[in-house]
Structure 1
């Protein structure tokens, strides 16, 4: 099992003046203790599930570029890019640039977007859900075309590109892995089966996760795709305790998820800015789950 660190709360000790220093230290340490990937949320305001909108929130791709400069091996991505925030051509350029400058470590995490307040707050259009899914599929098509040898036009319902030119191309071939986040069974997971290299669903329970993976299997079967081509990942809150007293519980939790078919857990780590939880992951958790 692989572990990914999801960074969703940047309200750390020292706040603004220390934010870059803290982010660099957390990223380096995460890589050192065994995390294979580092993820940031793609939000502009802090989300209600974490805290007040006024709390610190970094722009995702700027933050990933910074993290790339302070790490060497971890994959880097958003958990997940909201399709509404960027023109698809620009998004593909951002991910391609990250891939080239990081030495081939970028991933495109993407979803249909949901946080209406930050859209209206910063003047970003927030179309109805049906349209957001249409835009998501077109964005996936555009990115795949830009990562191919076809640099011709793209004519979609919502996006029209005269040239899908993308130079330099990504280092990863045929393209950086595409991860689609979300668990909607009629639309999201159908897009996973058609376009994604990885899925990400909430690790609510073993039964919940197994149900989502079974739905992906059925969608893959319907289009003749091997579901084993899609990496199965979950998003989870991990709490090892202030001094590691909950580490065994986390190992058990990850073991159950592995039995349910989970291949990677991308987790928000409680108290990550204090660094001790990262040390606990490296000492008491990762060695126990890496071979699952």
Structure 2
């Protein structure tokens, strides 16, 4: 079994930049391939600690303080930023990292964070319209040859004679990740714009069904289904013994049995066995959602017990 493992964090729950830096450095030193973070401005349970950090601001810092891991968002909300400035921002972080950045982009869903910080929150259909137009603008800016201009006609983000700068340093632009459970628009957007499709926090059978739907849409559109990477995101909780496992589950407010059912939990061997079932339905990459960012020993245990077996 070959699976690419990345670490995925939720800093809106109260992590500072220094917390994220410590986890990112551990991620790199322990041999995981990437460090990703959510893009949220409001905590979901708890008191939010020190408050939110901005995703692309922190990734810019991490770009200069790491050297090999991939960095990105899972996922940036299209409601948060205009596509032109976002294209410039992400391209800048890609330059700062030496070409290690990926952009997960979604329609946005958490209304409370919008009202808490004065961000407009359109109805769902309009949010998807805006997401589709953002993808067109961002990829258009990155894909326009140097010396030429880019224009886009659209109801939300018209662009006229843009110099289409700055450019990412990665050939073809920054890889884009699209995910979700939608049956029609989400697979179509992934096939048209993305390098990777992500199925987040779904069961093994549902993950397989989502992948098959994307593959079918790709074939219909004339795209090789194998040209996409298929990934999953799952919460992880590993313990070398029962006491450690239960302590780590309690630290994130979860029950061990529930985590075993709805995530990747238990001994390292249990987690490897569960990962094998994801691999069986076509998963090539897994984002391990680590919720207690103060427990760096947890990362070490995952690397020693799980990552080692997948190499």
Structure 1 counterpart of 2:262: none
Write the deviation string for residues 44-75 of structure 1: whole angstroms up to 9, x where unpaired: 11135xx4467632111011112212211111
Aligned to 1:289: 310
> 2:195 and 2:283 mapped to 1: Cα distance?
14
In structure 2, distance between residues paired with 1:193 and 1:152? 22
CA distance in 2, matches of 1:226, 1:40: 29
The question of 1:62 aligning with 2:62 is answered no
Distance 1:199 1:185 in 2: 13
| Residues 1:247 and 1:23: Cα distance change in structure 2 (over 3 Å) | same
1:99-121 CA-to-partner distances (Å, cap 9, x unmatched) read 00100011110011001111122
Contact 1:3 1:265 in 2 (8 A): yes
Equivalences for 1:227-238 in 2 at 5 Å?
227-238=225-236
How many residues align structurally?
283
In the TM superposition, residue 195 of structure 1 has moved relative to its aligned partner by 1.2
TM-score, length-scaled by structure 2:
0.86
Structure 2 CA distance for partners of 1:102 and 1:184, relative to 1, 3 Å: same
Deviations 1:61-98 (A, max 9, x none): 01111221221111111110100110000110111001
Is 2:122 the counterpart of 1:124? no
Give the Å deviation of 1:10: 5.9
1:30 to partner: Cα distance: 0.7
1:92 aligns with 2:113: no
Residues in 2 aligned to 1:54 and 1:174: alpha-carbon distance in whole angstroms: 39
d(CA) in 2 for partners of 1:22 and 1:206? 31
User: 70, 74, 78: which one pairs with 1:75?
Assistant: 70
Residues 132, 270 of structure 1: alpha-carbon distance in 2 compared, 3 angstrom cutoff: closer
Distance in 1 (alpha carbons) for counterparts of 2:115 and 2:197: 29
Map 1:96-107; keep pairs closer than 5 Å: 96-107=91-102
Q: Give 1:192's match in structure 2, choosing from 178, 190, 196.
A: 190
Residue 110 of structure 1 corresponds to: 105
SS class of match (1:79):
strand
Q: How many angstroms apart in 2 are the aligned matches of 1:169 and 1:40?
A: 23
Counterpart selection for 1:250 from 242, 260, 271: 271
Q: Which residue number corresponds to residue 203 of structure 2?
A: 205
Contact 1:92 1:143 in 2 (8 A): yes
Q: Secondary structure at the match of 2:116?
A: helix
Q: Indicate the residue corresponding to 1:34 in structure 2.
A: 31
Q: Could you tell me whether the CA contact under 8 Å between 1:240 and 1:270 is conserved in 2? A: no
Question: Does the CA contact (< 8 Å) of 2:17 and 2:53 recur in 1?
Answer: no
The 2-side partners of 1:178 and 1:10 are apart by: 22
Aligned to 2:258: none
Are 1:241 and 1:247, in contact at CA under 8 Å, matched by a contact in 2? yes
| Mapped contact 1:272–1:278 kept (Cα < 8 A) | no
8 Å Cα contact 1:104/1:171 also seen in 2: yes
Q: 1:268 Cα shift?
A: 1.1
